[in-house]
Chain A
Amino acid sequence: MLKESKRAVNSIRSLVEEEDEEDDVEKVSWSGEPVGSISWSVKETESSIRSTGEVRDQSFPKIHTAPSLPKNSSGYSLSSLFKGKAKTGSFQSFSESFGDPSIRNYAPELRKPKSEYKDYVSDWTPEETVKRMQQGKVYSLEKFRSLQDKLLLLDEAVNAHDGNVITAVLIYLKKSLSKEILFRELITREIALRHYIHYLKEIGEQKLLVELFKSMDRTEDMALMQYRDHLNVRDENKKRDFLKNCLSFPFSPDDATHVQDHYTLLERQIIIEANDKQVESSGQADIFKKYPRKASILNMPIITTLYYSCFYHYGESDGTFSSPANIRKTFRISDKQFLLTCLGARAKLKAWFDVDALFTTKNWLGYTKKRSPIGFHRIVDILQKNNAPVQVLQDYVNLVEDVEQKISLAQKYKCHDVIINTYRDLKDRQQLIVYRGKVERGSSEYRKIEEILSNSQLRWKN
């Protein structure tokens, strides 16, 4: 259907171009912003300024410098913008031309009532004070002296749900009350408390914030909030020290583990990074010469780090920080995740022998068997994505238990042997004949099928 409409559009286009095309229905710049829109105009006036600015900085002023008001094209009047519009239809809305005085009457007054003439009275109630604050009028908080008055004021502000006013009252309370008392009162005032926390964060009063959380018994919140700050530490050594400092915070047990892991990970990454950078630049190790590192390993997630380790540090002894086995153990990586990551890295390097070893297990009699915590069909997909050759792929396709899935995978990746053998084992002569039609005549697959079909020993089911 889409094709149909596309064709129609194209045919119309050629049709139209014969006509005198006057396509000014709407004026839009290429980026699509209507010419004259605000964001477009910001760019326009800015760029004209910049260019004149550059000219001024040059040592040989050009004659054409005319840094007067840019006569840029953004000077469309409203009427010119709407000209095109008017053409399109019969209805030009009256309100498009705001110059029309009748419209002005149409937009009623929004600014609010003129009933507030109590401006000179100074004994405003908390309610009046809050209202005045909201309206941006003169107000005074100093007259709220007693604790009770102050709290009434705070509750009134909270009632108004206006964060701006709540914060202003809190600033006053912070100045005029001891922190113990303020903290105590905030415990029962969740919304005011939230705003206070936000305020302290904004103005960077970290210390007071920590005290506040402690007194509220909200230590987990505090720990998380402090941990969050690591996001803004750029230098890796400083970040590591920062995280180390976080370890002593009262996180929930789960989060404590995560933070510990985060710290351990960065600590290792710093060591690995320094070492590998040095090895790479000295040209000692082939792996770095063959596959130069694209990016630093710092601040990468643990799975990425494991991949890196499987790529550059495979086969190192368990004792080294950078070995896959050590990383796996330290960070409690699940069998599945480990296998997938390792497989990805070794397959990328086309280290098929390593891939093979990943799945090989020996039983107590010494027989080997291939096992995987993940279905072999997924292993096949991963190998295929890494361009594994058919010889490698078919070994794993063969391990897929479900016969239908096995055949469909084998067909998808052209593992002829697997298909032929499977049909043979199923004694499915018909399918084998069908398949013979699909392979190239005279190829080794073809001959193999011929051979099987002519085997008189076999008992076909059809």
Chain B
Amino acid sequence: MSAHLSYGRVNLNILREAARKELREFLDKCAGSKAIVWDEYLTGPFGLIAQYSLLKEHEVEKMFTLKGGRLPAADVKNIIFFVRPRLELMDIIAENISEKNGRPPQMLSPRDFHILFVPRRSMLCEQRLKEQGVLGSFINIDEYILDLIPYDGDLLSMESEGAFRECYLESDQTSLYHTAKGLMTLQALYGTIPQIFGKGECARHVANMMLRMKREFAGSQTQILPVFDSLLLLDRNIDLLTPLATQLTYEGLIDEVYGITNGYAKLPPEKFAAQKKQGEVGKDLPTEPKKMQLNSAEELYAEIRDKNFNAIGAALSKKAKIISAAFEERHNAKTVGEIKQFVSQLPHMQAARSSLANHTSIAELIKDITTSEAFFDNLTVEQEFMTGVDTDKVNTYIEDCIAQKDPLIKILRLVCMQSVCNNGLKQKILDYYKREILQTYGYEHMLTLNNLEKTGLLKPQTSTRNNYPTIRKTLKLWMEDANEQNPNDISYVYSGYAPLSIRLTQVLARPGWRSIEEVLKMLPGPHFEERQQLPAGLHKKRQQGENRTTLVFFLGGVTYAEVAALRFLSQMEDGGTEYIIATTKLINGTSWIKSLMDRPEAP
């Protein structure tokens, strides 16, 4: 389940093990049989570090989702609530355990209640439980610090959806505190990171907190040879453009089209139905979406995920030939030994075959979309904006999309992109878009438009000077001849556009940020460099030609295409740097804009 975490440059399985150890310790604190009541949101992130079997071995016999009303019957000694620190969840818990709710007969046996807050305890929540008169019912209130979750061999995520909104819209920096905490945990496991670079307001805060926490823990330093050479902290708001663009890598497109949550994608079942075994033909076609786990544990997926989608067909058909050839081998197997050898390879080959079948189906599904006129038109407009064509006029394609009532998020992505690429829109144009949007989609969306303005995604032009072209040219954000099949530059991930955030990372490694001071000043927030003292004797002596390892932390989210671009840089022969990526959340333009929208609360 987790082997793929340990193959990379940095063994992230150590982090996972540490998290599992804590979980086991907590479970053992509650002696006897247990039932867990889950805040449903948490089952996804927890799934990345543990299976039910782990819980089961620690006497967890039942699991429920947290719901109003009374608790379901369960003949166990302990009831443990695994919840996020949210007030509305406290009310549900109070309802669950309140005496008034008439417990079912077999619940009369005395039981112990516990709460495990994830990722942090909250005084506000405890106060609410107190007001509801149930705080005293809990034997144990604890927290489970699930800061950085190993997502893949080179990828860590805090799986915190609201981080961007909280930091940039609500000025609530709690997630930055968690980030700093998570980075301290990481340093406890992998050694002190000697160099810290950063760009942006939030990056500065996180670095400050880290330095401060380090001072506080002085004396209890871990004697571990540093695994990371440097840390780069990047604010999402220094590069608002990249997530708005449609990702064009295989994994990026799966996320754009179907969404990947906690490492799983839900796909339409029709294409996969045919794969069932013959004996099951009689069964009805499944209507439930097919849920598929996507990570580098799957050999084929690891190979193709970061390719431009236009290179996927070739990659799959090449793979098909190899697998076919391997199956053909059986005709050559004559001796018992040869047959035995063939048979022993069979499971592996079958896994490869089913993996190929799955990805061929997914690629077909996505191809239907990428070859559609609508997709092409949308992409054309995006690329016009990114290259600076007519960003100061009302765009007729956007107008048409509004007239056709295309999904609002699509419209917002485009309008924001135009605004970002023009360093703000002329007041008249901004007003025009706003009016069209409110009239077509409803006046209540003025709240969302306000939010977008507050975060800088949408803004009126203040200065007459549009500095986006300068940034684009200096950082070479647009490459005319992006090679999709055999890329030689990161711009392949968006078929021409090189993500700004990754360019900054690239330039930092070589030749250094001093070469782009001008541009750095145009982007919001300070840029900085800090050094952390290493205990004597822990200084790494680099071998000739040995790569540096850099941890890049995206505060406020990162896209799969950006991850792909960093992996591409890691693999470059003369790159000299390998990257491990961390973020508050894997995002795409849609999920990102959605997190900034104001909607009615669920009834």
Name the residue of chain A whose CB is nearest to the CB of B217. A113
CA distance A26 to B52 in the complex (A): 15
Tell whether, in the assembled complex, residue A232 and residue B323 are in contact, meaning their CB atoms are under 8 Å apart: no
Tell whether, in the assembled complex, residue B3 and residue A163 are in contact, meaning their CB atoms are under 8 Å apart: no
Tell whether, in the assembled complex, residue B327 and residue A15 are in contact, meaning their CB atoms are under 8 Å apart: yes
CA distance A255 to B431 in the complex (A): 11
Tell whether, in the assembled complex, residue B356 and residue A5 are in contact, meaning their CB atoms are under 8 Å apart: yes
Tell whether, in the assembled complex, residue B3 and residue A8 are in contact, meaning their CB atoms are under 8 Å apart: no
Tell whether, in the assembled complex, residue A164 and residue B174 are in contact, meaning their CB atoms are under 8 Å apart: yes
Q: Within 8 Å CB of A227, what residues of B?
A: 447
The yes or no answer to A110 lying at the interface (CB within 8 A) is yes
| A-facing residues in B448-485 (Cβ within 8 Å) | 450
Q: Within 8 Å CB of A104, what residues of B?
A: 21
Stretch binding the partner chain, chosen from A31-39, A289-297, A386-394, A450-458: A31-39
The yes or no answer to B600 lying at the interface (CB within 8 A) is yes
The yes or no answer to A76 lying at the interface (CB within 8 A) is yes
Other-chain contact of B188, A41, A108, A194 (Cβ < 8 Å): A108
The yes or no answer to A95 lying at the interface (CB within 8 A) is yes
Known: A331-B439, A333-B439. Contact between A190 and B171, CB under 8 A?
Answer: yes
The yes or no answer to A12 lying at the interface (CB within 8 A) is yes
Tell me the count of chain A residues lying within 8 A, CB to CB, of chain B: 111
CA distance A46 to B64 in the complex (A): 6
Other-chain contact of A81, B51, B65, B290, B323 (Cβ < 8 Å): B51
Name the residue of chain B whose CB is nearest to the CB of A227. B447
Tell whether, in the assembled complex, residue A115 and residue B219 are in contact, meaning their CB atoms are under 8 Å apart: yes
CA distance A96 to B316 in the complex (A): 30
CA distance A301 to B405 in the complex (A): 11
The yes or no answer to A340 lying at the interface (CB within 8 A) is yes
Other-chain contact of A16, B18, B38, B350, B367 (Cβ < 8 Å): B350
Known: A16-B353, A21-B350, A337-B403. Contact between A49 and B447, CB under 8 A?
Answer: no
Tell whether, in the assembled complex, residue A258 and residue B443 are in contact, meaning their CB atoms are under 8 Å apart: yes
Stretch binding the partner chain, chosen from B42-50, B235-243, B583-591: B42-50
CA distance A206 to B450 in the complex (A): 21
Nearest Cβ distance between residue A300 and chain B, in whole angstroms? Answer: 8
Other-chain contact of A98, B17, B403, B434 (Cβ < 8 Å): B17
Tell whether, in the assembled complex, residue B350 and residue A199 are in contact, meaning their CB atoms are under 8 Å apart: no
Tell whether, in the assembled complex, residue A39 and residue B43 are in contact, meaning their CB atoms are under 8 Å apart: yes
Name the residue of chain A whose CB is nearest to the CB of B286. A30
Tell whether, in the assembled complex, residue B313 and residue A1 are in contact, meaning their CB atoms are under 8 Å apart: yes
The yes or no answer to A112 lying at the interface (CB within 8 A) is yes
Other-chain contact of A262, B293, B323, B444 (Cβ < 8 Å): B444
The yes or no answer to B332 lying at the interface (CB within 8 A) is no
Tell whether, in the assembled complex, residue B438 and residue A8 are in contact, meaning their CB atoms are under 8 Å apart: no
Interface of B is mostly: helix
| A-facing residues in B39-69 (Cβ within 8 Å) | 40, 43-44, 46-47, 50-57, 61-65
Tell whether, in the assembled complex, residue B123 and residue A167 are in contact, meaning their CB atoms are under 8 Å apart: yes
Other-chain contact of B290, A30, A36, A162 (Cβ < 8 Å): A30
The yes or no answer to A212 lying at the interface (CB within 8 A) is no
Tell whether, in the assembled complex, residue B350 and residue A224 are in contact, meaning their CB atoms are under 8 Å apart: no
CA distance A42 to B16 in the complex (A): 22
Tell whether, in the assembled complex, residue A110 and residue B431 are in contact, meaning their CB atoms are under 8 Å apart: no
Interface of A is mostly: helix
> Chain A, 1-37, contact with B by CB distance < 8 Å: what is the 0/1 string?
1101111110111011101011101100011111011
The yes or no answer to A160 lying at the interface (CB within 8 A) is yes
Nearest Cβ distance between residue B250 and chain A, in whole angstroms? Answer: 12
Q: Within 8 Å CB of A232, what residues of B?
A: 600-601
Q: Within 8 Å CB of A198, what residues of B?
A: 170, 172
Tell whether, in the assembled complex, residue B444 and residue A82 are in contact, meaning their CB atoms are under 8 Å apart: no
The yes or no answer to A89 lying at the interface (CB within 8 A) is yes
The yes or no answer to B575 lying at the interface (CB within 8 A) is no
With most chain A CB atoms within 10 A of its CB, the pick from B44, B278, B316, B400 is: B316
The yes or no answer to A136 lying at the interface (CB within 8 A) is yes
Tell whether, in the assembled complex, residue A38 and residue B50 are in contact, meaning their CB atoms are under 8 Å apart: yes
Tell whether, in the assembled complex, residue A106 and residue B17 are in contact, meaning their CB atoms are under 8 Å apart: yes
Other-chain contact of A45, B64, B266, B288 (Cβ < 8 Å): B64
Known: A93-B13, A163-B177, A333-B439. Contact between A340 and B53, CB under 8 A?
Answer: no
| B-facing residues in A175-224 (Cβ within 8 Å) | 190-191, 194-195, 198-199, 202-203, 224
The yes or no answer to A355 lying at the interface (CB within 8 A) is no
> Chain A, 96-112, contact with B by CB distance < 8 Å: what is the 0/1 string?
10100001101110101
Tell whether, in the assembled complex, residue B443 and residue A261 are in contact, meaning their CB atoms are under 8 Å apart: yes
CA distance A115 to B221 in the complex (A): 12
Top 10 A-B pairs, shortest CB-CB distance: A1-B313, A32-B291, A8-B320, A163-B174, A41-B52, A262-B443, A93-B3, A5-B316, A39-B43, A194-B171
A-B contact pairs, 27 of them (CB 8 A): A2-B317, A13-B275, A25-B354, A30-B286, A31-B289, A38-B51, A42-B65, A46-B72, A53-B72, A69-B61, A81-B51, A87-B347, A88-B351, A107-B14, A107-B20, A110-B18, A113-B219, A162-B174, A163-B172, A164-B85, A167-B124, A171-B124, A191-B171, A199-B124, A255-B450, A303-B439, A336-B399
Known: A39-B43, A98-B17, A378-B400. 17 other contacts (CB 8 A): A12-B353, A25-B354, A32-B290, A33-B264, A40-B52, A81-B1, A84-B347, A85-B1, A95-B17, A108-B18, A108-B222, A131-B216, A161-B205, A163-B177, A232-B601, A336-B399, A337-B439
Which B residues form the contact surface with A (CB < 8 A)?
Answer: 1-3, 6, 13-14, 16-18, 20-22, 38, 40, 43-44, 46-47, 50-57, 61-65, 72-75, 85, 87, 120-124, 127, 143, 145, 170-174, 176-177, 180, 185, 188-189, 205, 209, 216-217, 219-220, 222, 264, 266, 275, 277-278, 286, 288-293, 312-314, 316-317, 319-321, 323-324, 327, 346-348, 350-351, 353-354, 356-357, 360, 363-364, 367, 399-400, 403, 405, 431, 434, 436, 438-444, 446-447, 450, 598-601, 603
